[in-house]
Structure 1
């Protein structure tokens, strides 16, 4: 059972949006998902309460620093994925979740500030790797981006890749359908169409496949 931690010490980077899109796309593809809402803002729980929860998704909200590892292990099932939406600060809860992760995804906007703050996650993972004696795969996911990349965006991506940091492609673009998930609940297939719904679904599906490819490269059975 792979565990994916969505982690960034910066609020507003798109963690909950990334978690919900990933969870709903996996469920739509037939993969059972447990979605752990560890963010005090409870955005995932808000999404879950707004509409009928998609089949094959279970949301767990009552997760703390003391219970995070036990909760992840509780849902250690074959052909099952746990997605953990973490709080927007570097905390002990974040460290404990990262220690159990098969993949850490750090969402960020294409700004110098987000890239600078996001680097803290890279350092945090390095500390956990040293303590655990194992590699913890990390990938950066750019969120709320434009179809055409700015020079700043391209420069940040190039800098990350030159430093050996994995960058998920495609980005999660700025789509009205993505933000509307938290208004209507459900998934991109069940909620009322928002903007270019077909393009949003295609973007979400390709992003999710890129994540799955990383899990399979890491030897995870998905």
Structure 2
């Protein structure tokens, strides 16, 4: 089943948050999911060591010598496999991209983030030159619903004009996403009285997961 990797060479773009939100949302809807924590900070491993009862499985013991094999092995038994990659253009990242059915590139609406997103795309294209196209899509993160800065609008328009595929759904700025790491629970497990905007976060997470699944379906049909 599909392998989804979350990649951007810049830190702080929301890779771990995207990975956790997507993995736990798919699991909440009944899918079997394994998430690989390839970030040296091990945010997903720390989350799983908390009180969560979400069924997503977390794997933290990977390196460049085994990442591709482990991703494919999990894909043979799980409905979804997600990899939260380290923030660098490394051999591990290259191996994971080669094994991916979809690469998600999180970016915020700033020139620095956009520059690194383009660097990630160039890295993907380099891998594709050897083995064929690697489907990818840019995901804007930490956006404010109903409001976009001028910088963000310009960046979106420039990317779209260059033919870069962008998710219609953003991963919005929500306190609930930060609280997932604080309380080490998934969205549906947290107390709405203790976490602001939990309902909106659940709605956003569902929309993103649905669009990811639809993209995977379209890519598979095209192949």
- Under TM normalisation by the shorter chain, which class is it? over 0.9
TM-superposed deviation, 1:168: 0.8
* Contact 1:99–1:128 (CA under 8 A) maintained in structure 2: yes
Partner of 1:4: 4
> What whole-Å deviation, never above 9, does each CA across 1:25-69 have from its counterpart, x for those lacking one?
1001111101000010101111111222402x1110000000101
* Contact 1:185–1:191 (CA under 8 A) maintained in structure 2: no
TM-superposed deviation, 1:188: 0.6
Partner of 1:208: 209
Partner of 2:89: 90
- Does residue 145 (structure 1) correspond to residue 151 (structure 2)? The answer is no
Distance in structure 2 (CA, Å) of the matches to 1:144 and 1:97: 25
Distance in structure 1 (CA, Å) of the matches to 2:152 and 2:66: 38
Distance in structure 2 (CA, Å) of the matches to 1:45 and 1:181: 13
- Unpaired segments ≥5 residues, structure 1: none
1:10-159 alignment, distance < 5 Å: 10-55=10-55, 57-77=56-76, 80-132=79-131, 134-147=132-145, 148-159=147-158
Relative to the length of structure 2, the TM-score reads 0.95
User: Taking structure 1 as reference, are residues 184 and 177 closer, same or farther at Cα in structure 2, changes over 3 Å only?
Assistant: same
* Contact 2:108–2:142 (CA under 8 A) maintained in structure 1: yes
TM-superposed deviation, 1:151: 1.3
Distance in structure 1 (CA, Å) of the matches to 2:78 and 2:91: 28
Partner of 1:196: 197
TM-superposed deviation, 1:22: 0.3
Distance in structure 1 (CA, Å) of the matches to 2:51 and 2:84: 19
Relative to the length of structure 1, the TM-score reads 0.95
* Contact 1:36–1:83 (CA under 8 A) maintained in structure 2: yes
TM-superposed deviation, 1:192: 2.3
CA RMSD of aligned residues (A): 1.2
Distance in structure 1 (CA, Å) of the matches to 2:52 and 2:151: 40
* Contact 2:34–2:78 (CA under 8 A) maintained in structure 1: no
User: Taking structure 1 as reference, are residues 180 and 10 closer, same or farther at Cα in structure 2, changes over 3 Å only?
Assistant: same
* Contact 1:3–1:103 (CA under 8 A) maintained in structure 2: yes
Q: How many residues align?
A: 218
TM-superposed deviation, 1:79: 6.0
Distance in structure 1 (CA, Å) of the matches to 2:20 and 2:76: 20
Distance in structure 1 (CA, Å) of the matches to 2:84 and 2:92: 11
Describe the SS at the equivalent of 2:86. coil
- Unpaired segments ≥5 residues, structure 2: none
